[in-house]
Structure 1
């Protein structure tokens, strides 16, 4: 990993893992008591605040070209992981309420950051606002991170914007983590937080440092556990790497190790090595719709007009600059 800056990323394009981005907004953009921001009707607006203020600045201030990639229908093998995450969220919600009742606000905050759910309404809101801002988006066939990684590997975008290392398993050449401008990430297990500083993770450099291939990296992940399998009990990253280096491939692992891997090993491998993806998509940036943004956020969701107008003005100005540069290039 190497830390970077938005100045260094100026003008580059990214396929953004929309699910991760929205989860991050729902975790970080909260009131002092840990509750989400909502409109007068009680509808969540934390994600809209994030998209309006943070994502817009990536476009206007740093000329980044994001394309948001939303998850499609989840692979059936991911069902157990999704259910486990739902239970964690429910447990955290209960513990948050208990902490608030006890006026233990530090504990309450450590729990509430784990409760954010990307609901259908949150997704619909995000897609609508992105369209109004002129930022392209698409819905993947399955995992958004797989689609984003495919786009990066194909060279259609410079990197994948996500905090999830699984993108490397899907073949993303460059993973750009923490594409946000301000804030901190709370680490519930450590009861602490850290500043969100953009960093780059390069697949080729990491494979070279580990002395393994991407296929072997996938086998290592299967040993430790992924969203699609539980992993082998007692095997962590260090021991798993030693096994991969020694035996080369999962088929050559000792029987007691192979027995803990999925019986349909090739099927799980193929999720990472040959994922279902869209091969035809548009990266074209749309034109911002100032009136549409104002109507949606101010009239429907009770945002302060002055605040929204400033963002809209920056988006329009950025589009004008882009048009001017294109005109000079074509002249």
Structure 2
């Protein structure tokens, strides 16, 4: 979620990989990929992932570095890609674009004055998921036999739907919208070192003494990716206000405030667009084909992906990734 206030409300606990081994996780692919993409760009020479004709495919390094964490812990990732951007999110998308453009201007200035460290930091902030990145990521995932689901709209909403309907065991995302979209459990920090966190919807509602609609109302008062919050309303105040006045409308009336498109945003969280997904979780990566695709076809430096591919191959033996084939 654009506003991280839900962190103060959500019931989140650390979990060990032993607790969740064998699970199937619907991963918000854009969220997951973007984190590895920006890290790769920040810390890797661009010569390692730029083709002879100037196309950047740092995503291929990111995918190879990121997937082993799942496989080594006997987790099956289902990568869920965003569909159409909802009209309600147009302001957020425009704001992100403006921030990228501003960062690009600062990056160019840093490069011109010879500040390589600052240029690399800002280069990471200008990354976007281009058509080439989208296409090559999907093809690499197919070669590694990782299930892919195309969401009709928000990938995070699709992940939540799959977790809520039992198609997978958990949603996987760093953002907090999964909670509002109804994911029973969301695994976080899947791109970080160490063990993940588990965000629990039922425990959150119990602790706050709210139903899910009340949680959505409180979040909207704080601010979401789809609306600005009400001035002066933080997470604790929002929860108290919803309890006192019954719902979002009661709070807005009491404060003489307004949230544009409030009814549509509220309905989007409660009834997000999603599709039924029959996921084939039989995973048997073709590591050699994937390596050839990344190194030979796209010219990525072999030493940048060698260890990642080795880890995938090793985990295939250690955990038996093809046990469900």
- Give the TM-score normalised by structure 2: 0.85
- The Cα RMSD (Å) is 2.7
Extract unaligned runs of 5+ from structure 1: 183-195
| CA–CA distance in structure 1, aligned partners of residues 222 and 188 of structure 2 | 22
The answer on 1:282 being equivalent to 2:294 is no
Per-residue CA deviations over 1:213-247 (Å, capped at 9, x if unaligned) read: 21011111211222222232333323322211211
Q: Which has the higher helix share?
A: 2
Q: Is the contact between residue 38 and residue 45 of structure 1 (CA under 8 Å) also seen in structure 2?
A: yes
> Which among 237, 256, 266 is matched to residue 263 of structure 2?
266
Partner of 2:200: 202
Q: Is the contact between residue 220 and residue 244 of structure 1 (CA under 8 Å) also seen in structure 2?
A: yes
Q: Work out which structure has the larger RCO, using CA pairs closer than 8 Å and 6 or more positions apart in sequence.
A: 2
Per-residue CA deviations over 1:75-108 (Å, capped at 9, x if unaligned) read: 1111111111111111112222333444556654
For residues 326 and 30 of structure 1, do their structure 2 counterparts lie closer, same or farther at Cα, with a shift above 3 Å needed?
Answer: closer
Partner of 1:212: 210
Q: Is the contact between residue 54 and residue 181 of structure 1 (CA under 8 Å) also seen in structure 2?
A: no
Partner of 1:47: 59
Deviates more, 1:284-293 or 1:307-316: 307-316
Partner of 2:219: 221
Partner of 2:295: 298
Structure 1: 4+ residue segments shifted above 6 A: none
Partner of 2:250: 252
Partner of 1:185: none
Q: Is the contact between residue 26 and residue 168 of structure 2 (CA under 8 Å) also seen in structure 1?
A: yes
* Paired residue total: 310
Structure 1 residue 280, shift from structure 2 partner: 3.7
For residues 304 and 35 of structure 1, do their structure 2 counterparts lie closer, same or farther at Cα, with a shift above 3 Å needed?
Answer: closer
Partner of 1:230: 228
